[in-house]
Amino acid sequence: MILNSVYIENFRIYRGPEKFDIASGNKKITVIQGNNDAGKTTLMNAISWCLYAVEKNTLSQKIYNSYSFHQTEVGEDLVVKVSLYMKDLRGNDVTVTRSYKYMKISEDACAKPEKTFEIIRNDGINDEFITFPESYINTHLPFSLKDYFLFDGEVLTQFFKKDNGNIKKDVFKLSQLDLIEKVKTHVDTRRKEFIKEKGKTQPKIAKLLEGINLCEENLEKYKIDLEREKKSIKINKANLEKIKKDLAPYGDDPMEIFEIKERLKKDHDDIKNKIISLNIGHKKMLFDNFSKIYGYPILKKVGEKGEQLKEDGFIPAEYRKSFLKFLLVQKKCICGRSLEENTPEYEEVKLLFENTDKITNISELINKFLGKIESIMDNYPVDFIDENERIDDELLDLETQKSSIEQEIHELNVKISKSKSPEDLKKAMNDHDYYQRMIDVSNRSIGRLETQIENESKRLMHLKKEYNNIRTTIAIVDSLDKKINFCTDIIDASKWLYGSLVRNIHDQLQELTTKEFNIYHWKNTYKSIEIDDDFNVEFVKTDGSKVIATDPSVGTRLTLALSFITSLNNLAGFELPIFIDTPLGPLDNDIRYNLGKFLPEFTKDKQIILLMKENEFSGDFKKNISKYIGEQYTLDVSTKDDREITRVV
């Protein structure tokens, strides 16, 4: 379908009516300029809404223009309308219109809209209203292909993150390979009907044909399953090798480094607790023996002094000086004799008093004190010094062990800081085991399928031989036989054609994508683009290594997606215009330069509509692409009654 123009009325920020004429022919590029929130994405949504009644995002605002609603009186109608004026492959004019007619019921609300969707085809003479417009759209512009002609830069950067199975389906849909599948399915259904009819007159032949048909279906299914399992092994082996490569630096047991660290931490804590316990015991020993240790020299001297007093006869004392004084004062001996002064007895006692030391007064106390000192000294820890040295040595040894373990832990932490986390390693190991299990499961499935294929092939050969023998015997070929044989030939031809087209489309898509990407992209890091049978896309670097499409920078991913989609569009069985919203945002200047120069060449006769910001449509890109521009618009945003309106200038 060639898009001639887009008409918008009262759709969101567009009040209108506004009309965009779309360029075609030699100057096939239409540029629509607008800053953020000017209405570029809204234009894309308007086209999507017109065709499919859906928009890119679910928007909370009402679909009708707020200023138009404000200007509409209560009880009056407000019509939202988008029309696409197109031309089909036969040259017929086709107008697709979707409209919602609202009635304003209050200053704040409208009633539910009256919805209309119509398609008018004009052959140059008459207008023809398409009876089933949804079916018409599904045939000519199916919804599943929306993302291949309406897309924005942000979506393109994430393009290869979508399910590759869906990409494969989309490629086949765009290439209309599904039509061959439909032909095959339809003809197969008719063949079964003919075989069933054959059973009414020749049940044995019909039974053989049914058996042959079932064998062929089973074989086709088994072969598809076999290829799927082989692909599964290939994918799982690639994933397994990647994980093995990631885990290689960690040795046979990737978790060992963390287990060693945990063990060292436990040993460190045990030694730390031993040091604490030993220090407590040491302090208790010092505290318990403090008085003995620090009092020992004094006690020893006192003891020696006491021994000297004993040797001198003061301890124990024969007489205390105080006792002799008492006798002299009393002048009377304890025996009762008088001790008068100047008597020989008195003088004798007096002389004894004068010669007796005062220390004799406390001789008993000193004697007791010496006894206690002796007792204390008897309890002095004779091995204290050895025990103290032993504890010091043990503490030093434990501190050395602790420091050594701390150094080991530090070295492990350095290694761990450069490695995966324990959680990531466990996940990688679990993934490793999972992929290995999947490979084992696929290998078992392959063995089973190969046996089934072998047995089913033998059965098919036997049935065909039996069928040919019967046909030779009967030697009559009726119309049903011809129809059945004709259907079989069509099915076989469809299978061959389908396989050939799939390979041809794959090879062309890979070649075109590589060529386009290498011209757009300024770096020579990548040699080619590789697309496998399931349409998984990888970069092949100049050194031969491969990088999945989702790994490189945003700009590189966008360049690849642009290359892939425009290449695919060139191979499409549908005539589709290409709308690109904000295509250049993350791209380097060199890539912008190349896009401006080569995008028109690679898109061939496709219509290109570029919705761009002012800073995108500038510089070398603008200079290179200007000669291909047939239409150019600017989206101008103004405000009326605090409501924004976009006009097309």
In 41-193, beta strands by DSSP E: 77-87, 93-103, 114-122, 127-129, 150-152
Residue by residue, DSSP assigns 407-430 as HHHHHHHHHHHTS--HHHHHHHHH
Task: Check if the beta carbon of residue 468 is closer than 8 Å to that of residue 534.
Answer: no
Region of 237 on the Ramachandran plot (φ > 0 left; ψ -120 to 50 alpha; else beta): alpha
Phi-psi domain of 532 (left: phi exceeds 0; alpha: psi -120 through 50; beta: other): beta
- In angstroms, the CA 280 to CA 268 distance is 18
What does pTM read for this prediction? 0.62
Give the separation between CA 342 and CA 349, rounded to whole angstroms: 11
pLDDT at 157: 62
| pLDDT means over runs of 10, the chain (649 residues) | 92 90 89 87 91 78 90 93 93 95 93 95 92 90 80 66 66 75 88 86 86 90 91 88 80 74 89 91 79 68 74 69 76 76 80 77 75 70 76 90 89 74 81 90 93 93 88 70 87 86 86 85 80 82 81 78 79 76 74 81 82 84 89 88 78
- Phi first, then psi: give them for residue 24, nearest 5 degrees: -150, 180
Q: Provide the pLDDT for residue 161.
A: 65
Report pLDDT digits (tens) over 379-436.
Answer: 666 677 788 888 888 889 999 998 998 898 888 777 777 667 778 878 888 888 898 9
CA nearest 21: which of 10, 39, 7, 42?
Answer: 7
Nearest to 84 by CA among 165, 3, 15: 3
- What pLDDT, on the 0 to 100 scale, is given for residue 639? 83
Out of 1.10.287.1490, 3.80.30.20, 1.10.10.10, 3.30.450.190, the CATH code matching 178-250+422-490 is 1.10.287.1490
Is the distance from CB of 180 to CB of 498 less than 8 angstroms? Answer: yes
- In 293-376 the beta strands, taken as DSSP E runs, fall at none
The pLDDT assigned to 448 comes to: 93
User: What pLDDT shows up at residue 440?
Assistant: 93
Query: pLDDT, tens digit, for every residue of 68-114?
Result: 999 999 999 999 999 999 998 888 999 999 999 999 999 989 999 99
- Buried-exposed string 516-527: b where 16+ CB fall within 10 A, e elsewhere: bbbbbbbeeebe
Report DSSP state, residue 93: E
Q: Which two tokens stand for residue 164?
A: 């590759």
Distance CA 501, CA 514 (A): 20
Strands 629-640 and 643-648: antiparallel
How many CB atoms within 10 Å of residue 306? 19
Q: Is the dihedral of CA 608, 613, 614, 615 positive or negative?
A: negative
